[in-house]
Amino acid sequence: MTLWQGRFGDEMAEIVSEFTVSSAFDWVLAADDITGSRAHVRGLGRSGVLTEREVEILLAALDRVDEEVASGRFVLGPEDEDVHTAIERRVTELAGDVGAKLHTGRSRNDQVATDLRLWCRRRLSQVASEVVALEEVLVGRATEVGDAYLPGYTHLQRAQPVLLAHHLLAHSWALSRDVDRLIATLERMDVSPLGAGALAGSSLPLDPDFVAEALGFHARFENSLDAVSDRDFVAEALFDIALLGVHLSRLGEEVVLWSTAEFGFCTLADAYATGSSMLPQKKNPDVAELARGKAGRFIGHLAGLLVTLKGLPLSYNRDLQEDKEPLIDSVDQVSMALRALAGLFATVEFHLDRMAAAADSSATAAVDLAEFLVERGVPFRKAHALVAGLVRDSIERHVPLAELVQAHPDLGDAGAKLLEPGVAVSRRTTPGGAGAAAVAEQLERFARRLDVDRTRLGVLAGEDPDLSAP
């Protein structure tokens, strides 16, 4: 018998129960459901709907259920349609008649919306911390590799040399925007839907402000219809993860490229590589490939939820139950991807000599030759054409570019010097550019950004910000 069976004559068809039941996947909300129920019970006590004794009995039963859930002793029954009814059923077994008062003034509609926000608050903060941890690894490696450089690419063709630190920091800045987005999503979702009831509030003297505060929400809902039907926070979380997944995918793609014999820019640590069941010599970058592959799944989850939401009339509709599996899966998977990539980058061996050799091809300094001429009064377009002509000559006549530069009256020795190994990258001096001084400054700015993000996450987790001077 379900909790709502009273209205019905016949038992539910087996396929209906099989089709509608969600306890297999919404069980992850159990701890948050109990947290929500504690606040609800205290709210009912405060407004006199429950006596002090009844509140005590219900809170004690919720504590027991909490222990059973935490220790894995809680047994889901065949009648437990979802996490909410399962926990209410167990509270009622433990608290007898008083248990039957737990759901007073509440609906699963405001309950599930509350649980899911509490769950997101915990898990998205954790994901944001894991992004910060990956940023820390990348920045650590960037600091360690000093002035090492590699070719920077556009169109996957060698373009100009850049410091390896600059390249690693480029990914780090993208990740820092992900942290920013996750924090903004967390701030926006910080609203309690509890007290909205099924859709319209209650005739009982509930106090949504009190329960909101008890649950640590910044505010209560403004409109009960919106409160039970709003899943913007799930869509936002899925978007944040999809874009984060895109960034991890691009990071993964570069590891895949760099670890090939063709690039030879890095070797993965054994602990972060995989083998082949047939080819004994293989060492494969499966972690990086899966980081790339998961992005498709995250984008699919986001698209799926938006399609689920788009046609729904107000207010609650059972379609909304479809929010959980994509959300839970995206959070679980992105969390693993972040931890696996952090380990991979902490242990990967960079081949700085190979990187430098690839970057030292004289053609990647071609723009420096043009700019050398610009400094001597030649209009850029003319300088560009002159150097392009030399590059073309060098290729067609198989003469080293340096020789042609040396022989050119406007370039000579000073021009040829620009083509020497390591010179081009040192000339990238503008703010935010790829040269040593600019990157050193960038590293400092990034360290400050990381500090700010750590503080913001601490504040969200309820830690007092450290306001002492750095």
Cα–Cα distances (Å) from 450 to 334, 454, 469, in that order, read 20, 6, 16
DSSP E strand stretches across 62-201: 149-154, 157-163, 191-192
Cis peptide before 394 (omega within 30 of 0): no
Enter the tokens of residue 315. Answer: 């207010």
Q: Which of 107, 247, 276, 468 is catalytic?
A: 276
- How is 50-93 classified by DSSP, letter by letter? S-HHHHHHHHHHHHHHHHHHHHT-----TT--SHHHHHHHHHHH
155 is known as an active-site residue: yes
How many residues touch ligand ARG (CB under 6 A)?
A: 10
Sequence-distant (≥ 6) Cβ neighbours of residue 75 within 8 angstroms: none
Using the minimum distance from each CB to ligand ARG, give the nearer residue, 109 or 362.
109
- Residue in the structure block whose two tokens are 């080293």: 400
CB crowding 243-281: b at 16 or more within 10 Å, else e: bbbbbbbebbbbbbbbbeeebebbebeeebbeeeeeeee
Using the minimum distance from each CB to ligand ARG, give the nearer residue, 23 or 160.
23
**Shortest distance in whole angstroms from residue 450 CB to ligand ARG:** 37
Sequence-distant (≥ 6) Cβ neighbours of residue 407 within 8 angstroms: none
What is the per-residue binding string for ligand ARG in 60-99, x denoting contact by CB under 6 A? ----------------------x-----------------
Q: Which helix (H) or strand (E) holds 374?
A: helix 366-375
**Shortest distance in whole angstroms from residue 142 CB to ligand ARG:** 44
Site for ligand ARG in 111-130 (CB under 6 A): 112
Enter the tokens of residue 343. Answer: 């380990």
Enter the tokens of residue 40. Answer: 């609800």
CA angle 294, 188, 26 (to 5 degrees): 55
Among 73, 318, 381, 398, binds ligand ARG (CB under 6 A): 318
The one segment of 39-47, 107-115, 267-275, 422-430 that binds ligand ARG by CB under 6 A: 107-115
Among 38, 89, 103, 108, binds ligand ARG (CB under 6 A): 108
Residue 464 per-residue DSSP state: P
CA angle 120, 80, 208 (to 5 degrees): 45
Using the minimum distance from each CB to ligand ARG, give the nearer residue, 321 or 335.
321
Phi and psi dihedrals of 357, rounded to 5? -60, -40
The one segment of 108-116, 302-310, 337-345, 456-464 that binds ligand ARG by CB under 6 A: 108-116
The one segment of 95-103, 129-137, 318-326, 445-453 that binds ligand ARG by CB under 6 A: 318-326
The one segment of 30-38, 106-114, 353-361, 430-438 that binds ligand ARG by CB under 6 A: 106-114
The one segment of 161-169, 243-251, 315-323, 460-468 that binds ligand ARG by CB under 6 A: 315-323
**Shortest distance in whole angstroms from residue 70 CB to ligand ARG:** 22
Among 92, 109, 125, 394, binds ligand ARG (CB under 6 A): 109
The one segment of 32-40, 147-155, 316-324, 405-413 that binds ligand ARG by CB under 6 A: 316-324
37 binds ligand ARG (CB under 6 A): no
Using the minimum distance from each CB to ligand ARG, give the nearer residue, 92 or 129.
92
Using the minimum distance from each CB to ligand ARG, give the nearer residue, 22 or 224.
22
Q: Cα–Cα distance between 131 and 448 in angstroms, integer?
A: 16
> Beta strands 266-267 and 349-350: pairing type?
antiparallel
Q: Which helix (H) or strand (E) holds 149?
A: strand 149-154
**Shortest distance in whole angstroms from residue 27 CB to ligand ARG:** 11
Cα dihedral 76, 78, 81, 86, rounded to 10, equals: -30
196 binds ligand ARG (CB under 6 A): no
Q: Which of 155, 203, 398, 468 is catalytic?
A: 155
Q: Of 68, 104, 98, which is closest to residue 86 (Cα–Cα)? A: 68
Using the minimum distance from each CB to ligand ARG, give the nearer residue, 256 or 320.
320
321 binds ligand ARG (CB under 6 A): yes
**Shortest distance in whole angstroms from residue 21 CB to ligand ARG:** 9
**Which residues are catalytically annotated?**
155, 276
Kindly list the residues in this chain that would bind ligand ARG in the complex (CB under 6 A): 22, 26, 82, 108-109, 112, 316, 318, 320-321
